[in-house]
Structure 1
Amino acid sequence: MQLVKGKGIVLIHGAGLGAFIWQDMKLDWQVLRINFQNRGNGPANTGLHYKDYVEEVVQQIDNWTVDQIVIVGHSIGGCIALNIAARYPGRVIGFIGIAAAIPAKGGSFVSCLPPMKRLLLPLVMRIFGTKPPAATIKNGLCKGLDDEQTAKIVSRFTFESRELYLEDCEGKIPKIPRMYILTTDDREMPAETQRQMAKNLKTKDISKIDSGHLPMLQEPFKLSHLINDFCKKLDTQKRE
């Protein structure tokens, strides 16, 4: 497919979620909201490997004609964003992680977690699967959201394959402008863990939002402003 001159933002959601989480964002550039496979269809992703998730994102980007893009990865989407940046050298001009998992040395999502969670999560997933109980989703992932937003997240939460969490992403840190957005009231990815993720991303461009794990729903205006400001800086740097 022939690319057309333009600038866009690719938004990659986290595990269990979908493109719908970005619905309140107001971004200045064109936007591609990625969906992982089989959103809302229960345990249909059983058996998929990490690379299958990457290829699903690649397919959606390949069908998008914008020639310059910023990759935005939320949570586990940060792992996949690393792979995507490597697949499109020259086309990807910026990278943003939002409460994102950024593994050291191309590790897995689980490798990003604190030691105790790193040990327990594979066991929990083996016994109970990858969709937490509704109460756990409400108290953790939905921290800071209103009742309507919480109900939507719980009802639309999708089972993922265990391999998405456990297999190494083998992603390298892209040599392009990078920013990490840290969520300060996050029960899913604690602030201290996020600070380490920002170090792994090798960036000093760190912004904070006082929100839970889903700032695109809790604080969409503030998150939109941070992303738009990052993109404006890219424009300024290019003109200089």
Structure 2
Amino acid sequence: MQLVKGKGVVLIHGAGLGAFIWQEMKLDWQVLRINFQNRGNGPMNVGLHYQDYVDEVIQQIENWTVDQIVIVGHSIGGCIALNVAARYPERVIGFIGISAAIPKKGGSFISCFSGPKNWMLPLMMRIFGTKPPKFVLETNLCNGLKSEDREKIVSRFTYESRQLYLEDCNGSIPNCPKMYILTTEDREFDPNDQKKMAKNLKTKQIERIETGHLPMLADPKKLSYLINSFCKNLLAPPVKQAEK
């Protein structure tokens, strides 16, 4: 495939969601909204492994000709974003995590949680599968959303393979500018755990947005601003050091 000169943003959604969550975003660069496999098709992803999700994202990027990209990973998409960035070390010029899981030493998504959630989440998946009950989705995942957005998330939430959550990602931290966006009102991913994720990402650029787990729906204007500002700064010439 022949790459053409250009800059773009790859948006990787979290588990159970889809490319539709980014529709309100207004980004300055070209955008590729990733979809995981079998969106909206019920419990059909049960046989997939973590690497199958990674390969699906890579395949969609392979069909995109933009030569310089910023990878954005939301929630579990942060794990996958690490693998994608490692695949394209010369092409990825920036990395952004939004309430993102950034495992330590290539661990699993589950390993990113502290306290009871670390052992309760696998147990809940055995009982309910990978689609939580409606009231759990509305209370935790959809915290702070308008009623129409809550209904959209609940109705379109897709079962995922348990292996997506349980298998190690074995991803490495990319060697490029990085930013972590922390969602301060998050009931799905505790802000204290998010601070640990930002530390794992090895970035000092931590921005905060006063929303729940889905800022692209709760406050798309501010989230767009943060991403656009990050991308703009990538193009800024380096600051010259004053001569002594």
* Larger radius of gyration between Structure 1 and Structure 2: 2
- Aligned letter for 2:175? K
Structure 1, 125-134 or 7-16: larger mean CA deviation: 125-134
Structure 1 partner of 2:5: 5
Q: CA RMSD in A?
A: 1.0
Structure 2 partner of 1:116: 116
The answer to whether structure 1 residue 102 and structure 2 residue 92 are counterparts is no
The residue matched to 1:16 in structure 2 has which SS?
coil
- Aligned letter for 2:184? T
Question: Cα distance 1:237–1:78, how it changes in 2: closer, same or farther (>3 A)?
Answer: farther
Moved runs in structure 1, 4+ residues, more than 6 A?
Answer: none
How far does residue 145 in structure 1 lie from its aligned partner after superposition? 0.3
How far does residue 237 in structure 1 lie from its aligned partner after superposition? 4.0
Structure 2 partner of 1:201: 201
The residue matched to 1:44 in structure 2 has which SS?
coil
Structure 2 partner of 1:177: 177
Question: Cα distance 1:129–1:235, how it changes in 2: closer, same or farther (>3 A)?
Answer: same
Structure 2 partner of 1:213: 213
Mapped to 2, the partners of 1:68 and 1:215 lie a distance apart of 25
Please list, as runs of the form range in 1=range in 2, the aligned pairs for 1:9-88 lying within 5 A after superposition.
9-88=9-88
When the two structures are superposed, what TM-score results if normalisation uses the length of structure 1? 0.98
- Aligned letter for 1:105? K
The residue matched to 1:28 in structure 2 has which SS?
coil
How far does residue 127 in structure 1 lie from its aligned partner after superposition? 2.0
Structure 2 partner of 1:146: 146
Structure 1 partner of 2:160: 160
The residue matched to 1:140 in structure 2 has which SS?
helix
- Aligned letter for 2:23? Q
The residue matched to 1:78 in structure 2 has which SS?
helix
The answer to whether structure 1 residue 128 and structure 2 residue 128 are counterparts is yes
Mapped to 1, the partners of 2:138 and 2:235 lie a distance apart of 39
How far does residue 215 in structure 1 lie from its aligned partner after superposition? 0.2
The residue matched to 1:95 in structure 2 has which SS?
strand
Structure (1 or 2) with the greater helix fraction: 1
Mapped to 2, the partners of 1:239 and 1:191 lie a distance apart of 33
Matched positions, count: 240
Question: Cα distance 1:30–1:110, how it changes in 2: closer, same or farther (>3 A)?
Answer: same
How far does residue 122 in structure 1 lie from its aligned partner after superposition? 1.0
How far does residue 120 in structure 1 lie from its aligned partner after superposition? 1.2
How far does residue 128 in structure 1 lie from its aligned partner after superposition? 1.5
Structure 1 partner of 2:189: 189
Question: Cα distance 1:203–1:35, how it changes in 2: closer, same or farther (>3 A)?
Answer: same
Q: What are the superposed Cα offsets for residues 71-92 of structure 1, whole Å, 9 maximum, x if unpaired? A: 0000000000000000001100
The residue matched to 2:141 in structure 1 has which SS?
coil
Structure 1: runs of 5+ lacking an equivalent:
none
Mapped to 1, the partners of 2:80 and 2:203 lie a distance apart of 18
Q: What are the superposed Cα offsets for residues 80-126 of structure 1, whole Å, 9 maximum, x if unpaired? A: 00000000011000000000000000000000011311111111112
Mapped to 1, the partners of 2:147 and 2:65 lie a distance apart of 38
The residue matched to 2:203 in structure 1 has which SS?
coil
Structure 2: runs of 5+ lacking an equivalent:
none
Q: What are the superposed Cα offsets for residues 121-163 of structure 1, whole Å, 9 maximum, x if unpaired? A: 1111122200000110000000000110000000000000000
Mapped to 2, the partners of 1:63 and 1:174 lie a distance apart of 22
The residue matched to 2:160 in structure 1 has which SS?
coil
Mapped to 2, the partners of 1:179 and 1:108 lie a distance apart of 21
Question: Cα distance 1:115–1:160, how it changes in 2: closer, same or farther (>3 A)?
Answer: same
Query: Percent identity among equivalent residues?
Result: 73
